[in-house]
Amino acid sequence: MSVAVSQGDATTRDPGHQPFAWPFTTPLYVGSALNPINSSIIATALVPIAAQLHVAVGATAVLVSSLYLASAVAQPTAGKLAEVLGPRRIFLSGIVLVLLGGLVGGVGQNLAMLTVARVLIGIGTSAAFPCAMVMIRRRAQQAGLESPPGGVLGGLAIAGMATAAIGPPIGGLLVGAAGWRWAFFINIPITAIALLMAVRWLPADPALDRADSTFRRVADRIDLTGIIGFAASMTALVVFLMGLPGIKWVALVVFVVAAVPTVVWELRRTDPFFDFRELAANGALARTYLRQALTLLGVYTVMYGMTEWMEAAHGFSTVTSGLLLLPMGAVSALLSRPLASRNLVRGPLLAAALTMVLGSGGIVLLSSHSPAIAIVLVSLIFGVTSAATTVGNQTALYLSSPPERIGTASGLFRTFGYLGTITSAVIGSIVFRNGASDHGLHTLGLVLVAAGVAVLLLTVLDRRLMARKADRKTGAPDPTDTPNPTDPTDPPESAANAAATAITRKENHA
């Protein structure tokens, strides 16, 4: 008899004997929140940094792009390392790097030191999400769970997306009260707490075989050549995108020169870092990546593009602009967990697409004379978009990626999200190149309407998406091919106890 356990049933009883009790999930949530918070909190510190270091405000943009670039490359790399070396080891290493980055940035005396700090923070924070997904997937398999642990995925959704929306207002208050250095120093106490929790509560990784832990063997297993090629290609692509509307030919040439041999190399390997064959065969996973990129293009455009417009065209202060967008983060946080706990995919993704189109249409109707309540309404709509897309795509990722490659797949999921984020910055710089204005905002809204329609088509026309609760077997490339074989006579109580017993036996044996 097959057992499928709902997350609610598996986590509401004695926390000492449940697969996803709070000691296991709390460090994962804290670690996963570090990247989005650091991505957004710096926005309010750029002007004070430029003033104190005597550099142009535009030059400080490197502090934003460097973290995005480092994260885009490091996320799948950390996922691959977690699969090979163990997720706990990589998770702890990432936290240490964030702590170091916070210290370097906090005492930094020039833009170069701050850039190094942001790269360290970007690499370090990138380890949390893919490592968390590897640990969650393995824990679910140990417990015999066939359905995704929706409540846990919902917590990751809150940590990974909702916290990004509260970064600007937190940053505004922090920088205003204590100075820009605390945009870096804040990482030190948070990472110290996360490190203690992870050491104390996360399960230890299996011991590494000495023969398999040599540098040459590890480099071969993680496909170090493929990672280097991917990093070079991604770096050149990001530099090219950030240079638009101008054309940086050198970056474009480097991208082609790096990408072509990397693709050839990956196609020849039996266990590549970036598995192009698998991505081509697994259409559900590829569409999940694309939906995530397009939807985050909209969410981050609202977070940054509308903030710039509110300050320059509407005349709001930095703090007021941040507070007007705070409802987006609040709604995203409130909706993420209940949506995820039901393991829905198609419904949330439809909601994300529709609200993105609706909210983008609202942006087209805004002007510098619009009341604050109209801006708050747009913020609320995109809050639904943020929650629904993160939950829906994250569950689709869990279901469509092979269990043994969940780390790399999760990292690439975040990488595509960063490409959407970077593209949003590029579009904002193009439409506001002559200053933030109503006309530029309306152009931005029309671009987002088109992106929202594309997301809607990717969702409506995708027959593999589930139309009801995702209670299929995990890891299946097509989540709709077989019904859940759960025995209806097996009550939730006994299923939860079976999951708890499986974990307890596993831990006692270890």
- Across 125-129, average pLDDT: 93
Superfamily (CATH) of domain 7-222+273-509: MFS general substrate transporter like domains (1.20.1250.20)
Report pLDDT for 197.
95
Model confidence band, residue 163 (pLDDT cutoffs 50, 70, 90):
low
Report pLDDT for 212.
66
Quick one: DSSP state of residue 30?
H
Nearest Cα to Cα of residue 11 among 182, 106, 151: 151
Is the preceding omega at residue 245 within 30 degrees of 0, hence cis? yes
Q: Where are the domains of the chain?
A: 7-222+273-509, 223-272
Nearest Cα to Cα of residue 143 among 31, 22, 7: 7
Quick one: DSSP state of residue 370?
S
Number of helices (H), then strands (E), in the chain = 23, 0
Average pLDDT, the chain: 81
Model confidence band, residue 355 (pLDDT cutoffs 50, 70, 90):
very high
pLDDT over 70, % of the chain: 85
The answer to whether 422 touches 70, Cβ cutoff 8 Å, is: no
Nearest Cα to Cα of residue 449 among 361, 385, 375: 361
Highest mean pLDDT among 114-123, 164-173, 239-248: 114-123
The answer to whether 57 touches 180, Cβ cutoff 8 Å, is: no
Alpha-carbon distances of 143 from 34, 154, 319, 476, 504, rounded to whole Å: 28, 19, 46, 18, 9
Model confidence band, residue 484 (pLDDT cutoffs 50, 70, 90):
very low
Nearest Cα to Cα of residue 449 among 365, 347, 330, 329: 365
- Dihedral pair phi/psi, residue 379, rounded to 5°: -60, -45
Quick one: DSSP state of residue 203?
P
Nearest Cα to Cα of residue 68 among 361, 415, 370, 382: 415
Report pLDDT for 165.
62
CA distance 310 to 324: 9
